[in-house]
Chain A
Amino acid sequence: MSEKFSPALRIGDLNDFIAPSQACIVSLKGLKTNATKPDKPEVSIASKQVQSEPVKISLKDCLACSGCVTSAETVMLEKQSLDEFLSNINKRKAVIVSLSPQSRASLSVHFGISPLQVFKKLTGFFKSLGVKAVFDTSCSRDLTLVESCNEFIRRYKENQSIDNERSKSSFPMIASACPGWICYAEKQLGSFVLPYISKVKSPQQTIGAVIKHHLYQDMGLRPEEIYHVTVMPCYDKKLEAARDDFVFQLESHGEGQNEASSISEVDSVLTTGEVLELIQLKQVEFKNLEEFPLDRLMTNISEEGYLYGVRGSSGGYAETIFRHVAKTLFGRQIDGPLNFRNIRNSDFQEITLEVEGKTVLKFALCYGFRNLQNVVRKLKVGKCDYHFLEIMACPSGCLNGGGQIKPKPGQSLKDLSQLLETVYMENVLVTEPFENPIVKNLYDKWLEQPGSEKARGHLHTEYHPVEKSITSLLHNW
């Protein structure tokens, strides 16, 4: 990363997995322009110095450009999410914050208090700033998981039927929750890989859809009044929130004029690190804050006051689907944690289900760029025999996302990772997503059933290959 970036960004030491590329269509102030020098000197004609305004780059520019894979870190300069967050509170918008369990764990380790305490104190903190409600994305994740299980079974049946062109791309089904992976797949890998990626939205976008399509009614709000912020372990989530696929038009029926206004499922994303920055900015002693009651509307908290959810600190996609499918398709009830085997390293793990000596299910967790490369390679040459891949761009998965709080001085990344893994499931009762009363209620009142037309309309999405820009192909040295 260039030393010319702001100190805040440098401290970030953003490890979202690939740095901005030189073929970025927008040259940023502070970046070395013409970053790749021609290997050969070229004759150039001295041109007049053109005074130009610093270029503003939006997240949408990044999504459209094939110049680099992920560049949310660069865009941070312009986007200044914290300021935007505070100004929206001041604009008297109904601000709703959705907190990810990975962020909760990171703050818990940082402050040395339990994740449940973090959640309660953070709820109080946000409310003191004027936030209307604080929700939990492990709740929307259960909805994502239910839809994903349903999609897997649909693909499985599709795969069984012969003479079906689509069945060729049924497997492996690939988890869609990692925005770094999605960007990479769309920009670098292109159309061959996209059919494999699960159509189900990530927990972040799912909670956005739930709030802005449905829950607003229960809260006595209008969708356009709501400013929805998520707190995520990852900078790339900002790019995800900015996708056109996650913006919808709202017809307003006022005064005979039909003005359509654009509503984003998620208006802004703060990383865990940025929330810590906010806490420091407000000069509060976080540990001494009062523990506020949680907003139960969209939060996995039981009557008895326990957090609940699935295992798996990167969302538990492989684990949950494996367990569900083993039971529903093969009649195998698996209790306790699944037994994943390390394949190459701890970031590449595998689990299989055997029925009558035959491997009927083969799932893998695949974290970090190098492992991702190897499965993509196998997929490309047709030697990938997995049914499901939980691909995450970051090594160690989401707990180690680029937006998490950095290790303390003297603390190794490895030690921190282990601490986070332990803390992540602290106070959490392991519960099947299908048993989640909030999820059940959403299907009953709104979505009908998993995979229904309504569910697909609101909770599923599409992926689009990004064409290589001409500029990115023109360099010839």
Chain B
Amino acid sequence: MESFEGNIELREIQRLEGHTDRVWSLAWNPATGHAGIPLSFASCSGDKTVRIWEQNLTSGLWNCKAVLEETHTRTVRSCAWSPSGKLLATASFDATTAIWENVGGDFDCVSTLEGHENEVKGVSWNASGSLLATCGRDKSVWIWEVQPGNEFECVSVLQGHTQDVKMVQWHPTVDILFSCSYDNNVKVWADEGDSDDWQCVQTLGEPNNGHTSTVWALSFNARGDKMVTCSDDLTLKVWETDNTVMQSGDGFAPWRHVCSLSGYHDRTIFSVHWSREGIIASGAADDAIRLFVESNENSADGSRYKLLLKKEKAHDMDVNSVQWSPGEKRLLASASDDGTIKVWELVSPSQC
């Protein structure tokens, strides 16, 4: 990994307006940003809509290409692209998850997944795009299997959490699901053995150095052997597992706590995202974005991670989501309660 020594700057490229309420979450389309396909991402909001943004290849500026509306009747809380970038799943407080198909830039709602008792909060596709997970306020995590013809079949309803489940995230390579909750726990789910159903195989909670308050989000490093979680307890926590065991498929490789990044945040951390090259971005209730990298020196809190930079007042209000882009450039998008989205580029002053 390249070292990020010296001056480095998070430069605002563009501020995107359009949503009329807080922006909850955003998701980059993984199939864009290479082979001449312009970068694109989706954002979702309290205004019940989803917006699709695309970069103009000549000007480099971002335009809203589509507004997905009149489907969800309440806040759209999160969104996720299938690995092929063909399908977008959107989770809403209206208790449904909508599946949108991208047909030449037009988005058709091709399926609606019902079943959650009330607000759906999170949605995630597995690496192959064959499974979709959702979670919500009813404390449950649902796993759906994608069938031909945009049909979805429920394969499991998991009841392990004792409170609101904030986010679900599939592991980037293996079919293992992670969920984090207001019950302060991260739970790991796998389809093991002969029981023909999914089970909780690990709970990362307070007894194993886990969080002491709501866990809001989690993200994996590029190799998939490390995971970072963020919480209302004002810390980021890094976890790791045995990659060889996990990839071999010989049983479940448990996760263990590596370190906690504390003392950097003084308000709730809502979002965390690990870039392909190893930079951890966090978005928090103090309106700031922070970037962390692994370092050889031991930092003040004894962790092996150091603060690379802090962007104060990144937004006028809470930063709800931060997401690194695919493609070559170090682009970061952030979504906020102030109703805007910002696209940032990480640059060294020499590049100015």
Asked whether A370 is an interface residue with its Cβ less than 8 Å from the other chain, the reply is: yes
Q: Which of B119, B157, B159, B318 has a CB less than 8 Å from the CB of A40?
A: B318
A-side contacts of B206, CB under 8 Å: none
Judged by DSSP, the binding face of A is loop
A369 to B164: give the CA distance in the assembly, Å: 19
A-side contacts of B138, CB under 8 Å: 18, 21
| Contact A19 to B139, CB < 8 A, known contacts A37-B182, A69-B117, A476-B93 | yes
| Contact A36 to B154, CB < 8 A, known contacts A188-B117, A414-B195, A475-B137 | no
B-side contacts of A282, CB under 8 Å: none
Asked whether B63 is an interface residue with its Cβ less than 8 Å from the other chain, the reply is: no
B155 to A370, Cβ gap below 8 A? Answer: yes
A-side contacts of B162, CB under 8 Å: 1-2
A-side contacts of B318, CB under 8 Å: 40
Asked whether B118 is an interface residue with its Cβ less than 8 Å from the other chain, the reply is: yes
B119 to A475, Cβ gap below 8 A? Answer: yes
A-side contacts of B153, CB under 8 Å: 344, 374, 377
B182 to A373, Cβ gap below 8 A? Answer: no
| Contact flags A365-380 to B (C-beta < 8 A → 1, else 0) | 0000110011001001
Asked whether A164 is an interface residue with its Cβ less than 8 Å from the other chain, the reply is: no
Residue of B nearest to A472 (CB): B118
Asked whether B2 is an interface residue with its Cβ less than 8 Å from the other chain, the reply is: no
Asked whether B12 is an interface residue with its Cβ less than 8 Å from the other chain, the reply is: no
A19 to B163: give the CA distance in the assembly, Å: 11
Asked whether B196 is an interface residue with its Cβ less than 8 Å from the other chain, the reply is: yes
**CB proximity of B211 to chain A, nearest CB, Å:** 14
A134 to B164: give the CA distance in the assembly, Å: 45
A-side contacts of B194, CB under 8 Å: 414
Residue of B nearest to A395 (CB): B197
Asked whether B301 is an interface residue with its Cβ less than 8 Å from the other chain, the reply is: no
B137 to A36, Cβ gap below 8 A? Answer: yes
| Contact flags B196-207 to A (C-beta < 8 A → 1, else 0) | 110000000000
What's the count of A-B pairs with C-beta under 8 Å? 60
Asked whether B75 is an interface residue with its Cβ less than 8 Å from the other chain, the reply is: yes
B137 to A22, Cβ gap below 8 A? Answer: yes
A35 to B163, Cβ gap below 8 A? Answer: yes
Asked whether A345 is an interface residue with its Cβ less than 8 Å from the other chain, the reply is: yes
| Contact flags B69-108 to A (C-beta < 8 A → 1, else 0) | 0000011000000000000000001000000000000000
In this complex, the interface size class of chain B, counting residues with CB under 8 Å from chain A, is 20 to 34
Asked whether A346 is an interface residue with its Cβ less than 8 Å from the other chain, the reply is: yes
A377 to B155, Cβ gap below 8 A? Answer: no
B-side contacts of A346, CB under 8 Å: 196
A373 to B157, Cβ gap below 8 A? Answer: yes
Asked whether B179 is an interface residue with its Cβ less than 8 Å from the other chain, the reply is: no
Q: Which of A23, A370, A380, A414 has a CB less than 8 Å from the CB of B118?
A: A23
Asked whether B214 is an interface residue with its Cβ less than 8 Å from the other chain, the reply is: yes
A370 to B156, Cβ gap below 8 A? Answer: yes
Most A C-beta atoms less than 10 A away, residue of B93, B118, B285, B337: B118
A374 to B139, Cβ gap below 8 A? Answer: no
Give residues of chain B (142-165) contacting chain A, Cβ–Cβ below 8 Å: 153-157, 159, 162-164
B-side contacts of A36, CB under 8 Å: 137, 163-164, 182
| Contact A18 to B159, CB < 8 A, known contacts A377-B114, A380-B114, A475-B119 | yes
A-side contacts of B196, CB under 8 Å: 345-346
A37 to B215: give the CA distance in the assembly, Å: 12
Residue of A nearest to B270 (CB): A39
A373 to B154: give the CA distance in the assembly, Å: 7
Give residues of chain A (21-58) contacting chain B, Cβ–Cβ below 8 Å: 21-23, 32, 35-37, 40-41
**CB proximity of A315 to chain B, nearest CB, Å:** 23
A370 to B139, Cβ gap below 8 A? Answer: no
B157 to A37, Cβ gap below 8 A? Answer: no
A18 to B140: give the CA distance in the assembly, Å: 9
A22 to B140: give the CA distance in the assembly, Å: 12
A370 to B159, Cβ gap below 8 A? Answer: no
Asked whether B60 is an interface residue with its Cβ less than 8 Å from the other chain, the reply is: no
B-side contacts of A69, CB under 8 Å: 117
B-side contacts of A41, CB under 8 Å: 285
A370 to B195, Cβ gap below 8 A? Answer: no
B-side contacts of A35, CB under 8 Å: 163-164
Asked whether B302 is an interface residue with its Cβ less than 8 Å from the other chain, the reply is: no
Q: Which of A23, A377, A472 has a CB less than 8 Å from the CB of B154?
A: A377
Asked whether B18 is an interface residue with its Cβ less than 8 Å from the other chain, the reply is: no
Give residues of chain A (178-198) contacting chain B, Cβ–Cβ below 8 Å: 188
A-side contacts of B159, CB under 8 Å: 18-19
**CB proximity of A396 to chain B, nearest CB, Å:** 11
**CB proximity of A56 to chain B, nearest CB, Å:** 24
| Contact flags B20-40 to A (C-beta < 8 A → 1, else 0) | 000000000000000000000
Asked whether B115 is an interface residue with its Cβ less than 8 Å from the other chain, the reply is: yes
A-side contacts of B140, CB under 8 Å: 18
A124 to B56: give the CA distance in the assembly, Å: 84
| Contact A373 to B163, CB < 8 A, known contacts A22-B137, A36-B137, A475-B137 | no
A-side contacts of B154, CB under 8 Å: 370, 373-374, 377
A207 to B337: give the CA distance in the assembly, Å: 59
A-side contacts of B197, CB under 8 Å: 345, 370, 395
Residue of B nearest to A383 (CB): B151
**CB proximity of A178 to chain B, nearest CB, Å:** 16
**CB proximity of A208 to chain B, nearest CB, Å:** 30
Give me the 7 closest cross-chain CB pairs, A-B, nearest first: A373-B154, A370-B154, A369-B157, A345-B196, A373-B115, A36-B164, A370-B157
Binding site for B on A (CB under 8 A): 1-2, 18-19, 21-23, 32, 35-37, 40-41, 68-69, 188, 344-346, 369-370, 373-374, 377, 380, 395, 414, 472, 475-476
- Beyond contacts A19-B159, A22-B164: 8 other A-B pairs, Cβ-Cβ < 8 A, are A2-B162, A18-B138, A19-B139, A36-B163, A37-B182, A370-B155, A472-B118, A476-B93
12 sampled A-B residue pairs with Cβ under 8 A: A2-B162, A18-B138, A21-B117, A21-B118, A32-B163, A37-B164, A37-B214, A69-B117, A344-B153, A373-B157, A380-B114, A476-B74
